Structure 1
Amino acid sequence: MADAPRKRRWPLYLAVVLALLAMAGLWVNHQLEPHRLARTVLDALGESQGLEIDFQGEPSYVLRPEPRLVLPNVVARQPGAAAPLLTAKRVEVSLPWDTVWGGDDKVVITRIQLDQPALDLAALSDWRASRPQAPFELPTLTQGVLVTSGRVVGGDWRIHALDLSFDELRPDQPLDVKAKGRFERDALSIHFEGDVSLLRAALASPFMFRATGRLQQAELDSPWTLVFAGDFDATGDYTRLEFANLSFESESPVPTLQADGSASFGETVQFKLEGTMPDWPADWPVLPEPRAAVALPVDFDVAYAGAADLSDPVSLKLARGETRLDATLVVADAQAWLANEERTPLPPMLGRFTAPSLEIEGFTLENVQADIVEPAPASEE
């Protein structure tokens, strides 16, 4: 008779177990409700990075085969900042379970996709200055990054329609990045498409750069190709580049040239180019006789040190045989001169010209030395 009460009690035990499972299921579902999950993830990320990260719209997630979170209309800003550091129409992040459970000290992400992101470099610089000094750790992205229709804002210039991608990112391993977009500054527009191959994914590495595009300004519309190899180092306050065997090809009035050089970018910009132009552009001022009839390359030396917007004068040295020009000019003035169909014979510059001899209207001048003082283009007056 003692077994009968036990048999009658098992439905009660089962009901209690089912009730507990149902409560656990409701709790898990509540915790994994898309808005709550997204808010939990973004709050943790924002706190760790000193950012306020928000979104508008309906987020979504899946857990199989691994966690994937999709967020609409994301805005990230430094607390108290007027302008956001980053906005994006859509952000998708996939993570392996090991990263979710914290099973490895290294940050491993499967894939990141950003649709219509906009990055403000001034806000980015302010945020970086607020962060504590810490060793830079590059994450691992096993299936890479995809950026579509992006925008970068940097002072008086913009990059629009930016598409960027790479298949895989592993620290200190080779990395190939593809990108295309449109650079704009005032009336200048440069369309580009190319790729950069790094020997190792790090803040310093040898690399190879290849790109093609079109340069447009007013009536100017010239195709271009740029290829060069180099080394970069972004471990300090300035990003430094050393490059060799640079080859830039275009159509007149934009020159074709080969060069070696260096550059650094930070609060100010410095660069130096030394090389040669195989041919004198047909749309440039006609060379004086007797040198015009002689096929000689033009050696050049270009140097700049000043404001990041290139508003300070550029030093320019040209040598064609024994004929030489030492001058300074402003990039914006030279661009306006190139784009002006009614341009003056000489670009706006200050300089000194020397030649062993010149022929002018039938007269030969020996040991010519002349100072050049050309005003700014009419469009700038």
Structure 2
Amino acid sequence: MNAGRAQSATPRARRRWARIAIVLCAVPVALALLLWLVLWLAFPPERIVPLVLARVGTSMGLEISAEGDAASRFGARPTFVVRHLVAREPGAARPLLRARRVLVALPWRTIRALGDPLELVRVELDGAVLDLPALQHWLSTRPPGDGRLPLIRDGLQVTGGRVDGDGWRVDALRLALPRLDPGRPLQAQVSGRYVDAARRAPFALAASLVRPASGHGFALAGPVAPQGDGWQVPAWILLSGALHWEDGLRLLPARFGARGRLLAGDTVAPFSLGLHGPLRLHADAWTLVPAGIALRGDGLVPTLDARGRIAYGRRLLFEVDGRIATWPSAWPTLPPPLGASRAPLALSLAYRGAPDLSAPLSLQATRDDLRFDGRLDVPALIDWATAPTRDSPLPPLQGRLQAARIDISGAELEGVVLEFEDDPAPAATAPAP
């Protein structure tokens, strides 16, 4: 009898313990659901998103605001979507960043720690506009160290972006950064189009940074295609160096290489160009001072080695001294004995004017006892060099040529001094009525 009762009680006991286990398992789930509901009711998107933006902004020394409908999603990694975001330094007139849409996914610990340190999961920006001078000023105020860069575990994506400089911009910007970690190498893909008053240059580049926290080991490589009125220069470029941003953007030293060709009319001129020196971004210009220059090519392009200084912004400035190893075959033939000399041609070039080289270029050239001092009209020189037929055997230039001796048509001339004047063609007169 007792045994039968024990046997009949066993299934009931088992069912009772099963119900207890189900309840014990359901309680945490119910509590989690209740907590989620409380959070959702207490902190709807229009309240929690400004709170998160304020915390992130405080950690970065920025004022961050957003307008329009906001959306948020709770879970293991809260995700926030905001529109019409504006980020600026406190009191600054111009924002350093504006974006049509921003998605930010971040772990709960970043919210609990008020964004210090700042760790994110994913960032996406659509229609972002970055003001580079404002960004430079903000970076100059940031403390040094690893805290300068956030951790973004699943990367950063930018579509339809733009960067505004002083007199130039980069539009149609796309950026794909799989991961940003100050302690790990960085790899990114970036494409867009550089535009200024005189030219445009579409590009598609791969970027790498071996040590993001310090900026060491920076490299940028890929195709670019600068183009202007009647010319284009498709090329493959490589820029590398140690990147610094504490008191202005700098690459110390910068190593730049380009291999491409100049296309103007029917002219195709292959070339290779190398630049070396400290590259700095100032308020309105890039500078390379001192600059080492090496140019190699065929035909119209000489073999040139030079040193000097270069500045590029709203205006272009360069002053270089160098030498051409051999007289290019596509240049006008020099009369003997100048043409028979194998001595290098020493050059001094100076320019200050619009970036399209429309201002006169000062030129000094010496070879043996030959000396030329004058000015070149670069656009007219390019037209002369690329024309199918030439009206003159000499390029358009102004200046003074001195030579101890020149042989012309069998006649030997000594103590030669020639003055070159490239006068504009006289205007056509209207016929008499």
Match of 2:70 in 1: 59
The residue type equivalent to 2:280 in the other structure is F
Superposition pairs for residues 78-227 of structure 1, below 5 Å?
78-102=89-113, 106-128=117-139, 131=141, 133-137=143-147, 138-227=149-238
Deviations 1:247-282 (A, max 9, x none): 332224576224251232143623413323132437
Aligned residues: 341
Q: Which shows bigger deviation, 95-104 or 196-205?
A: 95-104
Match of 2:288 in 1: 270
Superposition pairs for residues 308-327 of structure 1, below 5 Å?
308-321=313-326, 322-327=344-349
CA displacement at 1:56 relative to structure 2: 1.7
Please give the alpha-carbon distance, in whole angstroms, between the structure 2 residues aligned to 1:363 and 1:165. Answer: 69
Please give the alpha-carbon distance, in whole angstroms, between the structure 1 residues aligned to 2:237 and 2:405. Answer: 36
| Change beyond 3 A, Cα 1:238–1:179 | closer
The residue type equivalent to 1:201 in the other structure is P
Asked which structure has the greater CA Rg, the reply is 2
Match of 1:7 in 2: none
Please give the alpha-carbon distance, in whole angstroms, between the structure 2 residues aligned to 1:372 and 1:140. Answer: 64
SS at match of 1:100: helix
| Change beyond 3 A, Cα 1:372–1:177 | farther
Contact 2:80 2:105 in 1 (8 A): yes
Match of 1:13 in 2: none
TM-score, length of structure 1 as denominator length = 0.74
| Change beyond 3 A, Cα 1:133–1:24 | closer
The residue type equivalent to 1:219 in the other structure is G
Fraction of identical pairs, as percent: 26
Deviations 1:108-136 (A, max 9, x none): 2111111110011222234445x364535
CA displacement at 1:144 relative to structure 2: 1.0
CA displacement at 1:246 relative to structure 2: 2.2
The residue type equivalent to 1:270 in the other structure is L
CA displacement at 1:312 relative to structure 2: 3.2
Please give the alpha-carbon distance, in whole angstroms, between the structure 1 residues aligned to 2:182 and 2:134. Answer: 26
Match of 1:328 in 2: 350
CA displacement at 1:332 relative to structure 2: 2.8
Which residue of 35, 46, 59 maps to 1:35?
A: 46
Contact 2:169 2:196 in 1 (8 A): yes
The residue type equivalent to 1:298 in the other structure is T
| Change beyond 3 A, Cα 1:96–1:249 | same
Q: CA RMSD in A?
A: 4.0
Please give the alpha-carbon distance, in whole angstroms, between the structure 2 residues aligned to 1:101 and 1:146. Answer: 25
Please give the alpha-carbon distance, in whole angstroms, between the structure 1 residues aligned to 2:89 and 2:345. Answer: 56
| Change beyond 3 A, Cα 1:236–1:191 | same
CA displacement at 1:54 relative to structure 2: 1.7
Unpaired segments ≥5 residues, structure 1: 1-19, 283-296, 376-381
Match of 1:3 in 2: none
